[in-house]
Chain A
Amino acid sequence: MAAPPPIRNHIRRLRFEHGEMTQAALADAIGMTRQTIAAVEAGKYAPSLEAAFRIARVFGKGVDEVFWWEER
């Protein structure tokens, strides 16, 4: 089975800092399913560049402030 992508994120913390935004609310804001947001947040799915930008824009951040590459 393929290893999870080496991309980590601060989505959980950012949601908390934005009025405890739910995964469903974030999903609605960027046109994704709640399950996909949960998968991105858990590091099981690496979003496309466009989706990463959309997520970052919801929080008013740059992409590099939300996602980072984790060396193994």
Chain B
Amino acid sequence: MTFREASAWITLLVSVALYGWYFLDVGEDVIGGGAPGAGWMGRLVETVIAIVVLEIVLTAIVAARAGKAARAPQDERERAAGLKATAVAYWVLLTGVISAAVLVGILGGLVSTGRMSWGEAVFWGLNGLLLVLVLSEAAKSGVQIFQLRRTA
């Protein structure tokens, strides 16, 4: 496995595992119609910090094991895989952003009619956007891995 593929695996697995844990954790608070827990913002910050630290540490370990290959520029096959992955991630992001815009509109309507509090609307809006970003990043890493393995 090349350094680029290992790096993509790290991004994919760390993001899916930790954001998955975060969404399950905050999801437990709202399943069954309950209000989102007060500490969700703190848990989100903890999750982001954990992801950044874990990705840096794991990538540093993989880079140390890869030696000079980690410092070498991408070759054309790796660049092609990256471009394909970015193109797919773009469509995931675009679809998600349009969905999030619709969600924000619905949330605005619920808040204006008094059927939802501002706090709940912010919770759903921000977590909806976060989910879009996570899915886009996961799609990018997943397609990159698929492309690299398909042509290896």
A interface residues, Cβ below 8 angstroms from B = 1-2, 31-33, 35-36, 38-39, 44-45, 47-48, 51
A6–B152 Cα distance when bound, in Å, is 16
B149 to chain A, nearest CB (A): 10
How far, in Å, is B142 (CB) from chain A's closest CB?
Answer: 15
A45:B75 contact, CB within 8 angstroms: no
Let me know if A32 and B152 touch, CB within 8 A. Answer: no
Neighbouring A residues of B76 by C-beta, 8 Å:
32, 36, 47-48, 51
Q: Does B151 contact A (CB under 8 A)?
A: yes
| Chain A positions within 8 Å of B78 at CB level | 33, 36
Does chain A have a CB within 8 A of B61?
Answer: no
B31 on the A face (CB < 8 A): no
A15 to B76, CA, bound (A): 21
Give the number of chain B interface residues (Cβ < 8 Å). 12
Q: Is the interface of A mostly helix, strand, loop or mixed?
A: loop
Chain B 68-85 residues near chain A, CB threshold 8 A: 69, 72-73, 75-78
Residue of chain A at shortest CB distance from B1: A35
Q: Mark B129-152, 1 if CB is under 8 A from A, else 0.
A: 000000000000000000010111
Contact residue among A1, A31, A39 (Cβ-Cβ distance under 8 Å from B77): A39
Query: Using Cβ atoms and an 8 Å threshold, which residues of chain B touch A33?
Result: 2, 69, 72, 75, 77-78
B residues less than 8 Å from A44 (CB atoms): 150-152
- Find A35's partner among B73, B150, B152 (CB 8 Å cutoff): B152
Whether A38 touches B152, Cβ cut-off 8 Å, given contacts A33-B2, A33-B69, is yes
Beta-carbon contact of A36 and B150 below 8 Å:
no
A39 to chain B: closest residue by CB: B151
With the chains together, A35 CA to B76 CA distance in Å? Answer: 12
Q: List 10 A-B contacts (CB under 8 A).
A: A1-B150, A33-B72, A33-B75, A33-B78, A35-B148, A35-B152, A36-B75, A38-B152, A44-B151, A45-B77
Chain A residues with CB below 8 A from B2, complex form: 33, 35
Please give the distance in Å from A4's CB to the nearest CB on chain B: 9
